[in-house]
Amino acid sequence: MVSGVLLDKVDEVPSWGVTFQKWGRTIYNSEDGTFIGRTCMQWFQLLVFYICFYVGLAVFFGVGLFLFLHQLSSLTPKYVVEDSLLGDTPGMGFAPKITDDGTDLLWVNGTCTEKNCSCTGKNDCCCYSGEEEYIKTLTDFMKPYKNAQQTADTFVACRNDRESSEEEVCKVPISDLGPCGIDPTFGYSTKSPCVALKLNKMISWLPHPYTDVDQVPANVTDFYNNVLKTKFELDPSMIYITCTGQNDADNEHMGPIMLHPKTIPKYYFPYRNTPGYLSPLVMVQFLNPQTGIVINVRCSAWAKNLKPDTSSSTFKATTSFRLLVSTEKSQYF
């Protein structure tokens, strides 16, 4: 019985010949004159439609791309300085910054007494493990500034009467950085650490230095007269730099400092995204900071259009960090 049912079913299956005929008619139906369901005319219309559609799409895309690229310059962004979202005042940065730390603390191992040694970041001499990071970070930061890196024809020794052209960049002479440019440990092995300061690059931004001594805030004149102990004299081609403690106690603990160089010449600006451009640096060196205490330092840049604003959260033209000379770092975290 079971086999009978199966045989009935098998009989209902159409023969191979009929199946092929059906398929054949789907591909080419001679009665309707259609080929895969469409007549020649319908196929032609479909082809014309898709050609027009894709050509239209390509033209639309091409015009959009052309307009977009036309608006862009490869070197200068469309919106600069006041027009851009970044605003018209560059920020200030410092190095070495140990980013893994997540802090702005610069730590110098205060137990180092041996001053006559030259170590290169290895765990020898008077370099201890903690300082290595700072020395290495600053060494990496300084790499593009090495004299050997500033030899291309585009590097020019700028002066007030010799600015760089669009293709040129001004040299940043290492010799201007004083001991901070010579000592491979940047003073970290001799308890007189150097911190590099720079204004962040802002395309097309031009400083407007003070042109009259009356315009110069007391923050600047007091700093040059009393901290650097060099009588303040106005140079209208310079941006001025100050580094002070955040309060009176910090000022006391900070001890004597030096700036190498003392000002930033305006010929380094504007930054035009010229390949090889180096931001001008100022090294602040702490000659004899108090040991065993965290010193809060704020450094600022000053010009008519650089008004360090410490109240706002943006910290324009100003930066702050903490310096600690101590045998123990951990207790300050």
Ligand X SMILES: *[C@@H]1O[C@H](CO)[C@@H](O)[C@H](O)[C@H]1NC(C)=O
**Contacts to ligand X by CB under 6 A:** 109, 111, 116, 128-130, 219, 244, 298, 300, 308, 310, 318, 327, 329
**Which two tokens mark 77?**
């962004």
- In the complex, minimum distance from the CB of residue 85 to ligand X, in angstroms, rounded to a whole number: 24
Nearer Cβ to ligand X (97/298): 298
Around Cβ 166, how many Cβ atoms within 10 Å? 7
Query: How far is it, in rounded angstroms, from Cα 43 to Cα 231?
Result: 91
- In the complex, minimum distance from the CB of residue 299 to ligand X, in angstroms, rounded to a whole number: 9
Residues 256/287, Cβ–Cβ less than 8 Å: yes
Nearer Cβ to ligand X (84/93): 93
- In the complex, minimum distance from the CB of residue 107 to ligand X, in angstroms, rounded to a whole number: 8
Nearer Cβ to ligand X (150/319): 319
Nearer Cβ to ligand X (107/271): 107
Question: Which residues have CB under 8 Å from 285's CB, separation 6+?
Answer: 178, 179, 180, 187, 192, 193, 194, 195, 257, 258, 259, 260
- In the complex, minimum distance from the CB of residue 226 to ligand X, in angstroms, rounded to a whole number: 12
- In the complex, minimum distance from the CB of residue 327 to ligand X, in angstroms, rounded to a whole number: 5
Query: How far is it, in rounded angstroms, from Cα 47 to Cα 72?
Result: 38
Nearer Cβ to ligand X (170/241): 241
Query: How far is it, in rounded angstroms, from Cα 130 to Cα 146?
Result: 25
Residues 93/117, Cβ–Cβ less than 8 Å: no
- In the complex, minimum distance from the CB of residue 153 to ligand X, in angstroms, rounded to a whole number: 38
**Which two tokens mark 185?**
């440990």
Helix (H, G, I), strand (E, B) or coil at 107: strand
Nearer Cβ to ligand X (30/116): 116
